[in-house]
Amino acid sequence: MLEIVKAINGILWGIVLVVVLVGCGIIFTFYLRGIQIRKFGKAFKQVFGGFTLKGEKAGAEGMSSFQSLATAIAAQVGTGNLAGAATAIVSGGPGAIFWMWLSAFFGMATIFSEAVLAQLFKKEKDGEVTGGPAYYLKYGLKSDFLAKFFAVTIILALGFIGNMVQANSIGSAFSSAFNINPLIVGILLAIVSGFVFIGGISRIASLTEKLVPIMAGFYVIGGVIILVLMGSNTLDAIRMIFVGAFNPSAVLGGAAGVMVKDAIRYGVARGLFSNEAGMGSTPHAHAVAKVDNPVHQGLAAIVGVFIDTFIVLNITALVIIATGANLSGETGIAVTQKAFEIGFGHFGLIFVAVSLLFFAFSTIVGWYFFAEANIKFLFGSKGLTPFRIIVLIFIVIGTTQKVELVWELADMFNGIMVIPNVIGLIGLAKMVKSTLDKAEKNNLI
């Protein structure tokens, strides 16, 4: 079964989704006249104009724009930022990071469109505002089949399987750094997660608006310290990214066997997997934002991709290349642990374990919220209690398992849910453009 799923993912993430997602980003970039460049300053002002770690309390009517963005970033900034960059560099060379940047740039236009549509088609269900791709597929594209198909795949991909592997990452990191039994970590993680889940939208918003800025700041500061300590190696790492994008052998030598197509493939695939642009996950957070115009939340979504890729993921990439950890023979998260160990000594292992706890836990909360919106879509509020129980069981089990198959299944369902979402985005592109044009005509942005 593992080999079958791997083969499917090789096609999905190796060819199909790279073309579909990057192509979608390019289309929207031109169609919306470079929205991510023209309105980049306005986007930052939209997000940080009234920044606070203690915003107004979220409730049935939704949450603030910043709380919605924080919830989206909580899901985007996960183990992919620590392990995804490492995988891309090891498999595609330092040049893979350049292609990660490029995919993120085009992804900003895609995620703008997702957020606008999520706002346009949000609904009140059982007394609470909710929304996401299932809603714009059903009420915008008028396809009940695609809406239900998307809802089922995201519940499986994020709610169950995805949260299982996030929990596994935390259990593994704490086992290696502190020698704590992963099962104990899993039980404690389930208790804390259950407390957040039961609190609903109010508790989720309150947690993410505080946790996301703190955890990102903590990680970025640690990474910058290492980059300063590495001195000229850091400048060399930047050079290797640009040279390696077009001539990998000039950086790694011919023996490495990495070609330009590998740099493009792994850079684009891992970049898209990290920032989630076009995947249909983050619109669930953007749908519940209380904003004056849908375009305002679209601008906030652009900032989410920027923070995820150009700040947090970049720190991981530069630290790995500057320390030479990508040549250590390690793979995945072990490469990132090795890089911070080279920079900080044994404290580096502890630093990555603590960072991973914040990153993976915030992703569990974000992904739960996204899947919950689709449980409401399919079953209404009556489906929430059994759903929460199953998620908590998966979290405990996840910390104790070897989960290569589970990771591959998560990748597969993540990939499958992209397809109906992109169909919806392209089908409703005119609506996105008319909403943007009207906002610009009325000087709302």
> Are 377 and 259 contacting, i.e. CB atoms less than 8 angstroms apart?
no
**Residue located via tokens 């993430």:** 13
Q: Give the pLDDT of residue 148.
A: 97
DSSP 361-394: HHHHHHHHHHHHHHHHHHH-GGGHHHHHHHHHHH
Residue 280 carries which DSSP code? S
CA distance 432 to 230: 45
Q: Give the pLDDT of residue 269.
A: 79
Q: Give the pLDDT of residue 368.
A: 92
Ramachandran angles phi, psi of 280, nearest 5°: 90, 10
Burial class of residue 337 (count of CB atoms within 10 Å of its CB; 0-12, 13-18, 19+): buried
Q: Give the pLDDT of residue 173.
A: 77
**Residue located via tokens 């603590």:** 354
| Helix 163-178, helix 333-344: angle, nearest 10 | 30
Q: Give the pLDDT of residue 52.
A: 60
The tens digit of pLDDT for each residue in 120-153 reads 999 987 778 899 999 999 999 999 999 999 999 9
Decide: helix, strand or coil at residue 125. strand
Other CB atoms within 10 Å distance of the CB of residue 309: 28
Ramachandran angles phi, psi of 125, nearest 5°: -130, 125
Domain architecture of the chain: domains with CATH? 1-442 (1.20.1740.10)
Q: Give the pLDDT of residue 50.
A: 59
CA distance 201 to 206: 8
CA distance 352 to 173: 8
Q: Give the pLDDT of residue 271.
A: 83
Q: Give the pLDDT of residue 257.
A: 66
Decide: helix, strand or coil at residue 428. coil
Q: What is the mean pLDDT of the chain?
A: 88
Ranges in the chain, pLDDT < 50? 255
